[in-house]
Structure 1
Amino acid sequence: MNYESKISGEDLDVSTLDDGEDEARNKKRFMIVAAVAAVIILAYVAYQVLAGGGDGAGAAGAEDSQAPAVTVVVPGRQDVVRTINATGTVAARREIPVGVVGDGGRVTQVYVDAGDWVKPGQVMASIDRSVQNQQVARLEASVASARADLNLAQANLDRAARLVERGFISKADIDRLTATRDSNAAQLRVAQAQLGETRARNSFLNIVAPKGGFVLERNIEVGQTVSPGSGILFRLAQNGEMELQAQLSESDLANISVGVSTEVIPVGTNKVLTGQIWQISPMIDSDSRQGIAKVALSYDQALRPGGFASTRITSGTSQAAVLPESAVQNDSKGSFVYIVDKDNKVVRRDVEIGSVSAAGLSITSGLNGTERVVLRAAGFLNPGQTVQPMVEKDKAA
């Protein structure tokens, strides 16, 4: 009995001891958690104080820290050579159509072809003149007969004049002989005029080059019968001179003048030809709102009348912003750039591109040169997006 009571007492003491230790451990854990919470609260308060003490400022700081960094450039303005690009049709500067001047006839020989050069007065084609030659022979005989009649009339008049002093010939006979002589002289002049007319007409039977130049077209063949109604048989470019009829807008026409140098590149070639504007159209097409500037060009094998060519016209200098190609974007609305405003927000700005040079693209409108323009990676940005701008010159420094 005593032994069992002793054992039960020992068991009771051990249980009481374990409960006390658990309570102490729980208190210790609570103190640790409370201390950690206090540290976290103090750290948060300190962060707010350092960040400006407000929730809005903290959010803005977080947003700025997450914004992408972009490289921007302030282009400024510089002197840019104004260049006008245009296209047009190549044509002869002075085109001369050649046809039949005389009566015409059957073509016996053609001496030139398209692509040949001719001199002024050179025979280009000959016409059969066998009938005309017989007409000339007949008229030559008529002239000879009229001259013989005149000589006879003059001799009769001379003999009568010697006899009138002796009284063998009356004054009336002298007047009659004088009239006969004058009539024969007139007939001789008529015959001579007819002969000269026929010879002149025959000289026009040949197709002759009225001016020297380059043969552009030939529309005549041997054996063909031609007449004044046959149309144009040859086309000549006087002295081989060509021109480009460049189509320009109203604003571009207002910025050029006669004598301005140009560069012309015929389509399909890499040749760069130098020319000068020699005429500016005084009228504007009411439908296309364009006019024509004619560029004078010397002959070159690359120039083919009726073909197309492009031209670059230098029309002075102007002040403009210049940007590299990487800064300019294009879409269905046209060319544009992204600029960064004072709040570091991305803003779209539509621009117009002028001349292109090794320095870059000149911006004729849309920028004044003081903007911060996104230099690269603009295709990954959106209007209104916040960024961290890094100026190109500062970055290089």
Structure 2
Amino acid sequence: MNYETHFAGDAPLGEAGEDGTGSADASVMGDSRRRKRIGIAILAAVAVAIALWIALRDTTPAAPADATAQAPVVTVISPGRASVDRVVTATGTIAARVDMPIGIVGEGGGVTRVLVQPGDWVGAGQVLAVVERSVQAEQVRALAAQVESARADAKLAQAQLARAQALVGRGFISQADIDQRTATRDAAVARVNVAIAQLGEQRARTGRLDIRAPAAGLVLTRAVEPGQVVGSGSGVLFRVAKGGEMEMLAQVSEGDLQTLRVGNRATVTPVGGTDRIAGRVWQVAPVVDMQNRQGLVRIAIPYARAVRPGGFASATMVSGSGEAPLLPESAVQSDAKGNYVFIVNGKDMAERRDVTVGQVSDAGVSILSGLTGRERIVASAGAFLTPGQKVKPEMAKAP
């Protein structure tokens, strides 16, 4: 049987029949797919355009009015010019201004008592230590007895002379006897004087056994103890700072030495403390050490508890004064190019200005060059500014 003859009129889907109906359906389906793809592409392009517009809007510079409104507020000062001290700094050691070494001035002997300790204040002539003197005391008593004996002889000679003078008028005694008795009386008086002098000498020798302070001052050291035998070769037994006056021996460079004069004010700060002791330069070295090219400046200072001879200290000496702008430390910046400040120009824009820094003190930083003092200078936060940046200046209030 031939089945194909029964299905010959049923053409498969998608295949063109004799009347062309299958070809038309395929064309319609293709157009639908193309329109979908085109729509999707258009939607994607619109989305990309919207994203680009949002991004560009965020990065678009604000209007000038907005930039002014967002400019940072900075505090500015106009310092003018102030009197600024020129200061020389140095380091050195502390010592007694007049250090008096005290030793044995007499014969010496065994020390029986030591009456002072380091740190004690003593008066002129005060006994510091006592040396044993039993033998000298007996010698003093013997000489005192000789004085009394000589005085008795002198008294007797004077009485004999007086009686002779009463009898000479009656002719019982010649003038020669009077002369002899007068000479005897004078010799007796002379022996009294010699005995007194010998007694005084011995008392002085005995007194020299006491070790005494030659002047009032502060005891610095003690190198003697009871029982110790001392003599002329014992060396220094005590050291006393005359009047308690101290000084600092400051080492100053050759260049700074030329600017200092006797009488310049100075402030000394001992190491390890915060005390600032006022003093004055009382001597400037006439020579410079050839090894370190430094000279010695001696600064007189009064006694203070923080001042100890032999200690280390720093000093600032005022060598003169001048006028310069004085800025707070927060206003001065520094980088690889040097020190600088930010000033606000007439257009309210930050402008860098290089400066030369002078003396730095508690009052501030002096500016040697770069400023006149009439500029509007950024007092702080200069590190956060850039040259040409727009700012809102606000003048600092007077303290």
How high is the TM-score relative to the length of structure 2?
A: 0.64
Matched ranges for 1:318-357 at <5 A: 318-319=323-324, 327-329=333-335, 336-337=338-339, 354-357=359-362
State whether residues 326 and 376 of structure 1, in contact with CA within 8 Å, keep that contact through their aligned partners in structure 2: no
Q: CA deviation at 1:320?
A: 6.2
Which residues of structure 2 form unaligned runs of 5+?
Answer: 1-75, 343-353, 394-399
State whether residues 244 and 294 of structure 1, in contact with CA within 8 Å, keep that contact through their aligned partners in structure 2: yes
Corresponding residue to 2:176 among 172, 175, 199: 172
CA separation of 1:294 and 1:174: change in aligned 2, threshold 3 A? same
What is aligned with 1:155? 159
Deviations 1:167-221 (A, max 9, x none): 3333322222222211111111101111111112222211112222211111111
Greater mean deviation of Cα atoms: 159-168 or 216-225 = 159-168
Corresponding residue to 2:148 among 132, 144, 147: 144
Kindly indicate whether residue 309 of structure 2 is the aligned counterpart of residue 305 of structure 1: yes
Kindly indicate whether residue 283 of structure 2 is the aligned counterpart of residue 280 of structure 1: yes
Greater mean deviation of Cα atoms: 253-262 or 280-289 = 253-262
What is aligned with 1:385? none
Taking the aligned partners of 1:264 and 1:249, their CA distance within structure 2 comes to: 17
State whether residues 341 and 355 of structure 2, in contact with CA within 8 Å, keep that contact through their aligned partners in structure 1: no
What is aligned with 1:217? 221
Taking the aligned partners of 2:335 and 2:358, their CA distance within structure 1 comes to: 11
What is aligned with 1:240? 244
Kindly indicate whether residue 375 of structure 2 is the aligned counterpart of residue 395 of structure 1: no
What is aligned with 1:123? 127
**Which amino acid in structure 1 is aligned with residue 297 of structure 2?**
A
**Which amino acid in structure 2 is aligned with residue 172 of structure 1?**
A
Taking the aligned partners of 1:295 and 1:152, their CA distance within structure 2 comes to: 68
Q: CA deviation at 1:143?
A: 0.8
Higher-helix-fraction structure = 1
State whether residues 332 and 340 of structure 2, in contact with CA within 8 Å, keep that contact through their aligned partners in structure 1: no
How high is the TM-score relative to the length of structure 1?
A: 0.65
Taking the aligned partners of 2:332 and 2:163, their CA distance within structure 1 comes to: 111
Taking the aligned partners of 1:289 and 1:77, their CA distance within structure 2 comes to: 38
**Which amino acid in structure 1 is aligned with residue 338 of structure 2?**
F
What is aligned with 2:84? 81
CA separation of 1:356 and 1:140: change in aligned 2, threshold 3 A? closer
SS for the counterpart of 2:149 is helix
Q: CA deviation at 1:130?
A: 0.6
Taking the aligned partners of 1:305 and 1:145, their CA distance within structure 2 comes to: 55
State whether residues 105 and 232 of structure 2, in contact with CA within 8 Å, keep that contact through their aligned partners in structure 1: yes
What is aligned with 1:184? 188
CA separation of 1:363 and 1:339: change in aligned 2, threshold 3 A? closer
Taking the aligned partners of 2:181 and 2:235, their CA distance within structure 1 comes to: 54
Greater mean deviation of Cα atoms: 199-208 or 95-104 = 95-104
Taking the aligned partners of 1:329 and 1:122, their CA distance within structure 2 comes to: 64
Tell me the percent identity. Answer: 44
**Which amino acid in structure 1 is aligned with residue 97 of structure 2?**
R
State whether residues 161 and 178 of structure 2, in contact with CA within 8 Å, keep that contact through their aligned partners in structure 1: yes
Taking the aligned partners of 1:236 and 1:140, their CA distance within structure 2 comes to: 36
SS for the counterpart of 1:85 is strand
Matched ranges for 1:84-103 at <5 A: 84-103=88-107
State whether residues 241 and 297 of structure 1, in contact with CA within 8 Å, keep that contact through their aligned partners in structure 2: yes
Q: CA deviation at 1:115?
A: 1.1
CA separation of 1:297 and 1:286: change in aligned 2, threshold 3 A? closer
SS for the counterpart of 1:328 is strand
Taking the aligned partners of 1:390 and 1:142, their CA distance within structure 2 comes to: 107
Taking the aligned partners of 2:323 and 2:256, their CA distance within structure 1 comes to: 14
Which residues of structure 1 form unaligned runs of 5+?
Answer: 1-72, 341-348, 379-387
Taking the aligned partners of 2:363 and 2:168, their CA distance within structure 1 comes to: 106
State whether residues 267 and 315 of structure 2, in contact with CA within 8 Å, keep that contact through their aligned partners in structure 1: yes
**Which amino acid in structure 2 is aligned with residue 355 of structure 1?**
V
State whether residues 249 and 291 of structure 1, in contact with CA within 8 Å, keep that contact through their aligned partners in structure 2: yes
CA separation of 1:76 and 1:201: change in aligned 2, threshold 3 A? same
State whether residues 267 and 307 of structure 1, in contact with CA within 8 Å, keep that contact through their aligned partners in structure 2: yes
> Aligned residues, how many?
301
SS for the counterpart of 2:279 is strand
State whether residues 80 and 362 of structure 1, in contact with CA within 8 Å, keep that contact through their aligned partners in structure 2: no
RMSD: 3.7
